[in-house]
Amino acid sequence: MTQSVVVQVGQCGNQVGCRFWDLALREHAAVNKKGIYDEALSSFFRNVDTRSGGDGHDISKGKICSLKARALLIDMEEGVVNEILQGPLRDVFDSKQLITDVSGSGNNWAVGHKLYGCQYRENIVEKLRKTAEHCDCLQCFFVIHSMGGGTGSGLGTFVLNLLEDEFPEVYRFVTSVYPSSEDDVIISPYNSVLAMKELNEHADCVLPIENESLFDIVNKIHQMVNSGKLGSIVKQNSLVTSSAGSTKAVQEKSFDAMNNIIANLLLNLTSSARFEGSLNMDLNEISMNLVPFPRLHYLVSSLTPLYTLADVNVPSRRLDQMFSDAFSRDHQLIQADPKHSLYLACALLVRGNVQVSDLRRNIERLKPSMHFVSWNQEGWKTGLCSVPPVGHSHSLLALANNTCVKPTFMELKDRFMRLYKKKAHLHHYLHIDGMEQSCFSEAISSLSDLIEEYNELDATKGGPRIDPSRLKIAV
Amino acid sequence: MEPKVISQALSIAARSGYWKYDDRSHFCQKQGSGNNWANGYSVHGPKHKDIIMNLVQKEAEKCDRLSGFFTIMSMAGGTGSGLGAFVTQCLKDAFPASFILNHVIWPYGTGEVIVQNYNSVLTLSHLYHSSDALLVHENDVIHKICAQLMNIKQISFRDVNQVIAHQLGSVFQPIYTAEGALHYSRSPLGDLMETLVPHPEFKMLGLRNIPQMPESSLAYSSFSWPGLIKHLRQMLIANATMEEGIDWQVRPPRPGSSIPSKHSTSKLLHFNTSIANLVILRGKDMHSADLGSFQDPALYTSWLTPQDAFNLWKTPRAFNKYEKSAALVSNSQFLLKPLDNLVGKAWNMFASKAYIHQYTKFGIEEEDFLDSFTTLEQVISSYTTL
């Protein structure tokens, strides 16, 4: 079994990360009844004996003593991390996994990347090494951050660079929260585009997420819960609630519901690597199958079901509905419509009691309405994991490498250009050591190239019009 | 290269109470091969060669007469395909006198793995160089059997594998390979090769089985040898994958017109020409079975007489609760169309250079791909011009 390390950077990154660890513990608690530290747990947690004071040694087998998350929490202001350390998850992290500062990055990518990057480089590398040493087979780093701010965006992408330098063999999956157009940070386009360049060059896979989509999904769920539709009751455990027995009596913060969705995304992504199933799908397989060209590694994700109806009438119709939903506009985690754009590749990760025939039936059903690139007409990667997520009997995560990310990027570019043409706010960046005008021009050209690649695919539908002629053999 | 499946296999076997795997006869790693043939072949292969070959050596030493190796692997993934191809090569080098039969699982046409066509092309071309024969099971075919013959509503991989195991069993269970033989065949692999692979260019073997039905229906069915044999023969000629939906219109070409002329009807084109066939009969009264129809020279190519091209193995012992059953292992054009499709799709993808960087990362270059394509086009050409 392989291990993964989560690196959460910035306010958004840490808040999402916090939800992730909460859900991960809940999931493992539901599966692992005997309290034995097993392989599945070891992929995200260490088992530490804290009685001997200080940093106990790892216990690789036997009963669970104290679980420590394989995580690194980085934030340049203390508020969020402190809150985590005072909350119910405080024992899951130890002080050696934290890197904090006081003043924050002021929503400035340059401050995060250049200033704090330099300052904390040694510290970060050392802590990463330590975490990696605790793993006997480290496969993947998950970086969680936002693109619009300063720390998550700047320092987060700096860490990404570091990961590539120090651990070139380990996969880098980045979950990036993109700013919406009504974002209250004016210079978020600058931060995002500067960060995009880093993502283009140093990430293996990026899962872009937009707050707007999460917000819509959360609203939809609340509508369902509150509407009390005739004949259907929504079960307690939907994608956004923590669980029936939550210790928080207070109304959960508004972002918690949205962050839960991202946390579920990460859990489902790694489920096949942690639990058994009839068709395993490891993380390296995701990267292998979904990234046909090195730079086109942006995956649009969608999760279903969002909530479980207690109405158990027609199980197989519910299953089929789940597959249909995964491709609908409303369920995507960015503002995009993959069905009407070009698919380069698609992966379906199914959890729960679903058989290969159900999977195949649904693929056959949905295929005709989707446009695949000419050289990948049957570009489906599938995985079946037998363990369903908490509160559901089955679930589906769809990852699509699809040209529908283009509008998101184009909009980002437009917002950037509107500011850049006027040279608005540039001085905040340029007076940071190491930051020059060329950083901006390189970043925007990197983004433009990416958009161009997607354009080309759309225009040619990905291939020569006629089938390339086969090799001829002299008989 | 990852531990979950092997540990599951070991525990299931141990639970049966009848047999189990030797505790030390397995080897796994942690990371898997990521569906990457290059990873399996160029990275894991050399890295673990010694350990793996040591394990093989230990098993080989336990045999007092080793006739050969039977490898079971899929083509779509990274380990089965890449590492499987590598290990086959090592086996050939280390045991040049032993036979190697590769049991290969042909992936579903539609996506289990996106790069399955690349992996399959690389696997097949490499296996063709080091293996003696490739016994193929196609997922699509077995799936159809499960759906239509076995009446299974929600087909799981367990069901698919059950059918495959049944078909393999019908070939490899003890059998008399010679007329009037006093003992079971001592070297089934060798006998199989001898009967079915007369020429190294033609190594693709298909497997058909009759009857195939859910266990609950067995009590209500009765079988006759003439019926079974007639169906089996037509399955061979018409390239049918199972006993339902056989095209009875397909006939072998008339003698004297062995070369299809320009006026030949399309039926002739669907006709499945064989190089060699092996029929295995299991069940009572098999002596009464008349296999003359299989010895029709029209079924075969011109360079082997039917006496050499056709072989019959039999045993009165019933297999797996079927009172009478017949299996056909055929070196014929069964796999020509699937192979052609596979190579076509892979070539299409290769032309756009998609995913190639994932393979070059581990040392498989475009030239290696081209070599593989060339090898397979040659095989396709050979089978087409039978």
Nearest chain A Cα to B29, which residue?
Answer: A1
* pLDDT at B55 (0 to 100): 92
* pLDDT at A446 (0 to 100): 93
Contact in structure between A113 and A194 (CB atoms under 8 Å):
yes
Least confident segment among A37-41, A386-390, A460-464: A460-464
- The mean predicted confidence, pLDDT, of chain B is 87
Q: What CA–CA distance (Å, rounded) separates B309 from B331?
A: 10
β-pair partners for A301: A399
* pLDDT at A467 (0 to 100): 63
Nearest to A375 among B108, B354, B357 (CB): B354
What pLDDT band is residue B263 in, cutting at 50, 70 and 90? very low
Contacts of B24 (CB under 8 A, 6+ apart): B55, B58
Interhelix angle for A356-366 vs A315-326, to 10°? Answer: 50
* Chain A positions in Cβ-Cβ contact with residue B38 (cut-off 8 Å): none
Best mutation target, A283, A357, A469, to test chain B (most B CBs within 10 A): A357
- Across the interface, whether the CB atoms of A363 and B111 are under 8 A apart is answered yes
- Across the interface, whether the CB atoms of B35 and A289 are under 8 A apart is answered yes
* pLDDT at B261 > cutoff 60: no
Q: What is the mean pLDDT of residues B236-246?
A: 85
If one compares A13 and B263, the residue with the highest pLDDT of the two is A13
Tens-digit pLDDT profile for residues A238-297 = 555 544 333 333 334 568 888 888 999 999 998 888 888 888 888 888 989 999 999 999
Counting residues of chain A whose pLDDT is more than 90, the rounded percentage is 33
Contacts of A143 (CB under 8 A, 6+ apart): A7, A8, A9, A13, A156, A159, A160, A163, A172, A173, A174, A175, A203
CA distance A81 to chain B (A): 32
Mean pLDDT highest for which of B168-177, B260-269, B339-348? B339-348
* pLDDT at B358 > cutoff 70: yes
Nearest chain A Cα to B161, which residue?
Answer: A278
Nearest to B381 among A379, A464, A473 (CB): A473
* pLDDT at A240 (0 to 100): 57
Best mutation target, A137, A342, A471, to test chain B (most B CBs within 10 A): A471
* Chain A positions in Cβ-Cβ contact with residue B108 (cut-off 8 Å): 360
Tens-digit pLDDT profile for residues A149-168 = 889 999 999 999 999 999 99
Contact in structure between B94 and B86 (CB atoms under 8 Å):
no
What is the ipTM score, two decimals?
Answer: 0.82
* pLDDT at A327 > cutoff 50: yes
Chain A and chain B share a number of CB contacts under 8 A equal to: 141
What pLDDT band is residue A57 in, cutting at 50, 70 and 90? low
β-pair partners for A99: A74
* Chain A positions in Cβ-Cβ contact with residue B12 (cut-off 8 Å): none
CA distance A191 to chain B (A): 30
Nearest to A288 among B156, B352, B358 (CB): B358
Interhelix angle for A10-31 vs A254-274, to 10°? Answer: 50
* pLDDT at A228 > cutoff 70: no
Nearest chain A Cα to B160, which residue?
Answer: A356
Nearest chain B Cα to A169, which residue?
Answer: B361
Contacts of A187 (CB under 8 A, 6+ apart): A107, A108, A419, A425, A428
Contact in structure between B148 and B159 (CB atoms under 8 Å):
no
Query: Taking the model in full, what pTM does it have?
Result: 0.86
Q: What is the mean pLDDT of residues B98-102?
A: 92
- The mean predicted confidence, pLDDT, of chain A is 84
Rg (CA), chain B: 21
Best mutation target, B11, B352, B386, to test chain A (most A CBs within 10 A): B352
* pLDDT at A249 (0 to 100): 30
* pLDDT at B267 (0 to 100): 38
* pLDDT at B124 > cutoff 90: yes
* pLDDT at A307 > cutoff 80: no
Q: What is the mean pLDDT of residues B71-83?
A: 92
If one compares B281 and A462, the residue with the highest pLDDT of the two is B281
Counting residues of chain A whose pLDDT is more than 70, the rounded percentage is 87
Picking from A307, A310, A347, the residue whose alpha carbon sits closest to that of residue A327 is A347
If one compares A463 and A454, the residue with the highest pLDDT of the two is A454
Q: What is the mean pLDDT of residues B109-113?
A: 79
Tens-digit pLDDT profile for residues B132-186 = 999 999 999 999 999 888 888 888 888 899 999 999 999 988 888 777 677 787 7
* pLDDT at B75 (0 to 100): 93
Picking from A117, A180, A126, the residue whose alpha carbon sits closest to that of residue A150 is A117
Contacts of B279 (CB under 8 A, 6+ apart): B229, B232, B291, B294, B310, B311, B312, B313, B326, B327, B328
* Chain B positions in Cβ-Cβ contact with residue A463 (cut-off 8 Å): 348, 351-352
Tens-digit pLDDT profile for residues B187-221 = 888 888 888 998 889 999 999 998 888 888 887 88
* pLDDT at A1 (0 to 100): 73
* pLDDT at A231 > cutoff 70: no
Nearest to A463 among B5, B33, B352 (CB): B352
Rg (CA), chain A: 22
Q: What CA–CA distance (Å, rounded) separates A223 from B100?
A: 63
* pLDDT at A54 > cutoff 60: no
Nearest to A285 among B34, B111, B380 (CB): B34
* pLDDT at A52 > cutoff 60: no
Least confident segment among A290-304, B56-70, B179-193, B305-319: B179-193
Best mutation target, A362, A375, A465, to test chain B (most B CBs within 10 A): A375
* Chain B positions in Cβ-Cβ contact with residue A288 (cut-off 8 Å): 34-36, 78, 115, 355, 358
What pLDDT band is residue A34 in, cutting at 50, 70 and 90? confident
Q: What CA–CA distance (Å, rounded) separates B183 from A40?
A: 51
* pLDDT at B304 > cutoff 90: no
Nearest to B114 among A345, A360, A464 (CB): A345
Rounded-to-10 torsion of CA B90, B96, B100, B104:
30
* pLDDT at A315 (0 to 100): 56
Picking from A208, A385, A392, A164, the residue whose alpha carbon sits closest to that of residue A285 is A385
- Across the interface, whether the CB atoms of B34 and A276 are under 8 A apart is answered no
If one compares B253 and A14, the residue with the highest pLDDT of the two is A14
Nearest to B31 among A137, A289, A381 (CB): A137
Best mutation target, A171, A350, A359, A378, to test chain B (most B CBs within 10 A): A378
